[in-house]
Amino acid sequence: MIYKYNSKRIYKKMCSKCLKYDVISFDIFDTVLIRMLNPKESVFDRVNLIAKRNGIVLDNFVQKRRQAQTFAASKGLLKLHDIYMCFEELFGLKQEDCCKLEECELEAENELCVLNSTMSDLMNFLIEHDKKYIFISDMHLSNRQLSDLLRNKGVPIDDDRIVHVSCEYKESISTGRLFYEVQKTYPNGTTILHIGDSLKSDYLRPKFISGFQSVHVPRVEGDILSKMFFANLSVNTDLAYKWGYSFVAPVLWLFCKWVEKNALQHSFDKILF
């Protein structure tokens, strides 16, 4: 089933569907967490900025980060730590700086990611109805790193074992094998509903695994402002608040920035509102 969960009616329908399953599985990035990036930006661009702030300057960092990931994968190394350790072999970086770069990427994810308020509401709904939920993600971050990131963003996680990540299993969502491995951790007959943004990996792949069904919630496209509005405005948010957040607040913010610019330009030391 494919949902565009931008209405309360659709959200309630999704809640009702969740109650029919034993376990609800969430994709993480672009579903539970939304990265505040413009279309032509990548996480690696932010990692590069943070690295420079910490005194690590590498020419063509984004290209080198991708090269290290490909090189690590050729050796069967999939975790973030392993990828950055390859910087020593490939580019002669000290191990100490390799570890610092790994921390820079974790910091970048923490800076960029915002909790999707509608998915947060859905998780709270599941908690109220005593429903189990888990997370499944194709990522190079470890189980512990992803769990910490989710907690930092306000996601209730009591046990790291509910976070299943491809690099730990050495299996992928895109092939469907990760769903199969997760299913083996539950008793026979357990029904699992997976919710995610990728039509192929999150929606179509689980349907080939016995006991799995899926819901597709299309990712948010556009600039940072569009993503920010989407992430922070739940379908359950009061209409007046939505109008204020979406229209009034941006106008006021732009006006204040205009006042600030002119005050600095003309050296005003007093402003009357």
pLDDT tens digits for 134-178?
999 999 999 999 999 999 999 999 899 999 999 999 988 878 899
pLDDT tier for residue 1 given thresholds of 50, 70 and 90 = low
Q: pLDDT digits over 97-139, tens only?
A: 999 999 999 999 999 999 998 899 999 999 999 999 999 999 9
User: Which pair of tokens denotes residue 107?
Assistant: 């910091």
Residues 6 or more apart whose CB falls under 8 angstroms from that of 102 comprise 80, 81, 84
Q: Give the side-chain half-sphere CA count within 13 A for 270.
A: 1
Q: pLDDT digits over 62-91, tens only?
A: 999 999 999 999 999 999 999 999 999 999
pLDDT value of position 237? 63
Q: What is the mean pLDDT of the chain?
A: 89
Bridge pairing between strands 23-26 and 192-196: parallel
Q: Is 92 left (phi over 0), alpha (psi -120 to 50) or beta?
A: left
Q: Which strand (E) or helix (H) includes residue 35?
A: strand 33-35
Say if residue 57 is exposed, middle or buried (CB neighbours under 10 Å; 0-12, 13-18, 19+): exposed
pLDDT value of position 236? 61
